[in-house]
Structure 1
Amino acid sequence: MLKKQIVKELESVSKRTKAEIFQRFFKTGKGEYGEGDTFAGITVPEIRDICKRYYKEMSLKDVEFFIQHKIHEYRLLGLLTLTYMYKKAEEEKKTEIYSLYVDNLKYINNWDLVDLSAPNIVGEYLLERERSFLYELVKSNALWKQRVAILATFAFIRKNDFKDTLKISELLLHHEHDLIHKAVGWMLREVGKRNQDVEERFLKKYYKEMPRTMLRYAIERFEEGKRQKYLKGLV
């Protein structure tokens, strides 16, 4: 059975010492953002290697089994498998993949799971479609759904379409969590890589009120003199 074979391969590359490091790195302690998550100690390259060898044989049911798994790296394998499937899929299959992803959002519950999947599934699917779903995610008041919303816009940014990134950034401007501050700042920086004037118009309007981490991420690539002016409120 394919699932058993994949689980066997995952178990063969699991390392307890790495699992303990990952548990700390992904903040799994009581009251932390990844509270209760379980790790096996498998690296992303190891997971990608397994995905690439098996994704063509896997059904969406197989993938869902992994996405819903209690072990973090197994969920990541499921999500990365979906991204590989999506690239090769016809339109009807892409809709099935997108629907499966959306139906399983509650299992996409840490920043790496979001960042490695949302742009390549949600973002790609909505490129030529109506995007109100992203605004529903923003309004959900759920940290990971909100991160999915802003990260999905990375797909739009790659096509030089910035409007939803800027709108969602504005909506998340006063969010309390630094994982949203970092995500918004990162996406603004990606906008700036392609059109710095667009990014700076947004920053000049909001930089004095945005969280410091968000600003630092957004201006990371600016030349030092300009960066310091933003940090000192002198723009």
Structure 2
Amino acid sequence: MSGSGVEAVRAALRGAASDDQRVKIQKRMTDPAMRVIGVRMGTVFDIAKAHTAMTLDDVDQLLVSDTYEDRMVAVSILDFKARAKNVDRAALYELWMRRLDRIDTWDYIDRSAPRVVGWYLLDKPRDPLFELARSDDRWHRRAAVTAAFWIIRAGDLDDPLALCEILAADPEHLVQTNVGVALREIGRVDRGRLEEFLKRRGADLSAAARRTARTALAPHP
């Protein structure tokens, strides 16, 4: 049985749903079978923020839902929880990884992987990210490089660069886009290391990833 928190979230989502939003959101779904009820993203985030105190058992129930907005609330709650002081980062990370098969859209990953996964792994071995980067699943590979954003933010570049090395020639556009973002952020920390990477592997990147990465090298106005 759903907990009261789950019921409250679903009631709030239903109350905010519209056909116009459903059509707009459905157009950007990478899985046409995903059930969308049509709630504006700003409203989804507001609902998540209002339920940040939800138990992880309830978040888990939202993650296993077949509805896009339910799962977006769930990953957003995990992200909001990760920002809190004295949070149990291990519990957030373990739930995220246990339900990785449900975190299967680009925006679920971007919304939650940096703080929930990357922050947890700041002071730990990054083996899980390398396993994800070598996965046959494109979402796992995107998750690996996206989680690395938080590690880059901390000024730790070795593992993020190694992940970009693995993913430089990735055939999936939705992986390449975030490889480009990771490289751009690396360049903002250490321009030289980005330049060296682009000399060696730039030709392997997609055109979009190269353009994104090189924005870190553009002269400041």
Q: TM-score, normalised by structure 1?
A: 0.87
User: Which of these residues, 61, 64, 68, is aligned with residue 68 of structure 1?
Assistant: 64
Change (3 A) 1:14 1:8: same
Task: Describe the SS at the equivalent of 1:84.
Answer: helix
**Aligned-pair identity (%):** 27
Report deviation, 1:208.
2.3
2:199 aligned residue: 204
Report deviation, 1:99.
0.6
Report deviation, 1:84.
1.5
1:18 aligned residue: 21
Amino acid in structure 2 at the alignment position of 1:156: I
1:171 aligned residue: 166
CA RMSD of aligned residues (A): 1.5
CA distance, structure 1, for counterparts of residue 182 and residue 36 of structure 2: 28
Task: Describe the SS at the equivalent of 2:90.
Answer: helix
Whether 1:182 aligns to 2:185 is: no
Deviation string for 1:119-154 (max 9, x for gaps)? 011100000011101111112211111111000110
Whether 1:37 aligns to 2:34 is: yes
Task: Describe the SS at the equivalent of 1:174.
Answer: coil
Change (3 A) 1:53 1:203: same
1:59 aligned residue: 55
CA distance, structure 2, for counterparts of residue 170 and residue 197 of structure 1: 16
2:8 aligned residue: 5
CA distance, structure 2, for counterparts of residue 5 and residue 151 of structure 1: 30
Consecutive unaligned residues in structure 1, runs of 5 or more: 28-33, 225-235
Report deviation, 1:89.
5.6
Consecutive unaligned residues in structure 2, runs of 5 or more: none
CA distance, structure 1, for counterparts of residue 206 and residue 84 of structure 2: 39
CA distance, structure 2, for counterparts of residue 11 and residue 189 of structure 1: 39
CA distance, structure 1, for counterparts of residue 191 and residue 16 of structure 2: 43
Deviation string for 1:143-169 (max 9, x for gaps)? 111111000110111111111111111
Report deviation, 1:221.
4.4
In the alignment, is the contact (CA less than 8 A) between 2:191 and 2:217 conserved in 1? no
Whether 1:114 aligns to 2:117 is: no
1:46 aligned residue: 43
CA distance, structure 2, for counterparts of residue 49 and residue 35 of structure 1: 26
2:89 aligned residue: 94
Task: Describe the SS at the equivalent of 1:77.
Answer: helix
Report deviation, 1:90.
3.4
Change (3 A) 1:2 1:183: same
